[in-house]
Each structure stands twice: as structure tokens, then as C-alpha cells.
Structure 1
Amino acid sequence: MPVEHAVAMELSAELIHLVKKIEAIRHYTPRVHPGSEPSTYPVIFALRRIGPARISAIAETVHSDVSTVSRQVSHLVGHGLVVKVSDPDDGRAQRVALTEEGDALVQRLQDGRGKWIQRMLADWDDDKARDFTRYLHEFVGELSRELDRARATGADLPEFPPTTGKDPA
């Protein structure tokens, strides 16, 4: 049975609040490395997950454009967190790889996030956290499928974001 429109609207508002809160919290996160900028985290996290990759592949993975990722990679190279290496499949091209320092930074960030979430959810039990994680994982899967459909058809999503010019939350 499909979700009722009123329930979907409530979920939509909560998701917008979630995104806004995460954006606000970023202003209070400590810098754990001189070269660590929150805007570059998706790049280093992606490299940890997918391994050495071309900038175009990283951009696709993090849902960004090549020029933005290229600037982020230059920043990260300058701080010793990533390095450019020859592409074994095409000697003319380069791949980007995490350095040991970059890998250690990702591990430190992941560990810190885990401890933060653990502290924030101190009143939750493991079952509640696992249920939330499962539902969130399912929702992210639906978002991925929606993104794939939009890319495949080139079609805009219906009325999203709202065309009224007002923040729906």
C-alpha cells in the first residue's frame, strides 16, 4: 500500500530539517588536519571506498562536477592527503589515490563520527539504532534509484524542488 500524501509531506519536511541541521552543525566541527576541508570529505571517503580513480570517476561517485573535484584534489594533493599516480590502463591519464596520511585522516574522521553519533544517541538502544539504520539505508537506496531514473531519462523530478520559491519547511 503506498504511503499517504500527508505522511510523505511530513517525511519531506523532516528530511529538509535534517539537511539544514547537518549544514548548521558543520560550522561547529573541529578541523582535524590543516588540509581537511569538509567540502573535500566526499572525495577522500570515496577514494577509501573505491580505491585509486580518475577525477571523472570520483566526480561521478560523489555526484559533483569534474572541475569542482579537480580543485578539491589539487587542495588535497597540496596537503599530502592524496597523490596522483599513473593510470595503468592508460599511461597518458592519471588516477588519484589516498596517501597513508589521507587514509589515516579518513579513519580518524570515521571514528570521530561514530563516537559523536554514539554520544548523541546515548538514550537509544542498539535495536532502535539498527532499525533506523535499516530504514535510512532503504531510503538512500530509493534516492539512488530515483537519481538513476532522472539521469537515464533526463527528466526533472515532478515539483521538486517546489516551484513556489518558498522553503517547504
Structure 2
Amino acid sequence: MAPSLREEGITTTALDVADELGVQLVRLMRMVHKGRSMAAKQGPDGIERSAYSILLCLIHDGPQRTSKLADALHAEISTISRQSGSLVQHGLVERLADPEDGRACLLAPTREGLRVFEENRKLRNKWLATVMADWPEEDRRTLNHLLDRLNSDIQENTPQMADQNKGL
């Protein structure tokens, strides 16, 4: 496979900067993981913290089958089934008939699921605002802009992600 136009112009300096970015991204992921680990494995409502990623996908991307959620979250279907079952039991997610295939069902957030999601979102936002309380507003806005740009470029330059997101 021939290198893309973007790959042809990569300099040693660009590779050094990319290496430092890689180090900082790994550090960021460790901090996020450590923060989650320090919080209880179960939220105050008895839901596994990792199950909230299912709720996030359903709220942002709409009702979905378990298999599509597993693909989106890079998880096993059995894991998604167990976690979504817990979300259903707690009234945060409901099962709906799939209009395209009556034998299958779609998972969708309930009104209570939306409320719990927003409550958790507010807590996350307060925590992040506290973390960056001493940052100038321009730095906070620049960080958001650059992270959005990085995420978009990663999405566009990862073949499987680019294929999944065509037409969005």
C-alpha cells in the first residue's frame, strides 16, 4: 500500500512531537482510569460505572442492538448484555421491538436514564471545572478545540472508524 500524502511529509521533528503526544495520551488514560478506580466500582444507584458507556451511546446515537453497542464499545456481546440487563432492571434503559426485524430488540434510554445520565454529567463537569479552575478561559477553550480536532483526525485516519462514520 502506497503511503498517503500526509505520511510522505512526516519529519523527524513531527515524529518526536507525536512520541511526546503518545506519552501524554497514555498518561491521561492512566489518570482517567485511576480516577475511575478510586471511585466505587458501583455508582450510588448500584449500576456498574462501565455500564454508563452504554447509556452514553444510546443517548448520543439513538436506540441500538446489543451487537452494534458491542462493536461501538469494543466489548464482548456477553458483557454488553449483562450490563444492559442491569440498566434495564434499574429502569434506565428499555427494550423496544426492532422495526426492521421483529425477532430482535433495540435498547433505548428511558426518561429516568436520561435524568441519571444528566446527573452524572453534571458531576463530571463540576470535577473538570475544579481541575481546570486555575486555567485561563482561553486555555480551556483551546484545549477543547484541539481535542475535538485530534479526535476528528483520529476518526478520519483510522480506516474502520472512517467507514463507520461516513455520512455523519
Which TM class, normalised by the smaller chain length? 0.7 to 0.9
Quote the residue 1:21 is aligned against.
Answer: 31
SS at match of 2:64: coil
Q: Report the residue type matching 1:38 in the other structure.
A: R
Q: Distance in 1 between matches of 2:153 and 2:61?
A: 22
SS at match of 2:144: helix
Q: Distance in 2 between matches of 1:49 and 1:149?
A: 20
Q: Report the Cα offset of residue 18 of structure 1.
A: 0.6
Quote the residue 2:70 is aligned against.
Answer: 59
Q: Aligned Cα RMSD in Å?
A: 2.2
Indicate if the aligned counterparts of 1:35 and 1:76 stay in contact, CA closer than 8 A.
Answer: no
Indicate if the aligned counterparts of 2:95 and 2:108 stay in contact, CA closer than 8 A.
Answer: yes
6, 9, 13: which is aligned to 2:16? Answer: 6
89, 97, 114: which is aligned to 1:86? Answer: 97
Quote the residue 2:166 is aligned against.
Answer: none
Q: Report the residue type matching 1:130 in the other structure.
A: R
Return 5+ residue gaps in structure 2 as ranges.
Answer: 1-8, 164-168
Q: Report the residue type matching 2:30 in the other structure.
A: K
| More contact order relative to length (CA 8 Å, sep ≥ 6) | 1
After superposition, the Cα gap between the structure-2 partners of 1:97 and 1:132, relative to the gap in structure 1 and judged at 3 Å, is same
Identity of aligned residues (%): 31
Residues 122-155 of structure 1 deviation map (CA, whole Å, 9 limit, x = unaligned) = 0112221111011111111222234335897xxx
Q: Report the Cα offset of residue 32 of structure 1.
A: 4.4
SS at match of 1:39: helix
TM-score by length of 2: 0.80
The number of residues matched between the two structures is 152
Is 2:104 the partner of 1:122? no
Return 5+ residue gaps in structure 1 as ranges.
Answer: 153-169
Quote the residue 2:4 is aligned against.
Answer: none
SS at match of 1:4: helix
Quote the residue 1:106 is aligned against.
Answer: 117
Q: Which runs of 4+ in 1 moved over 6 A?
A: none
Quote the residue 2:6 is aligned against.
Answer: none
SS at match of 2:158: helix
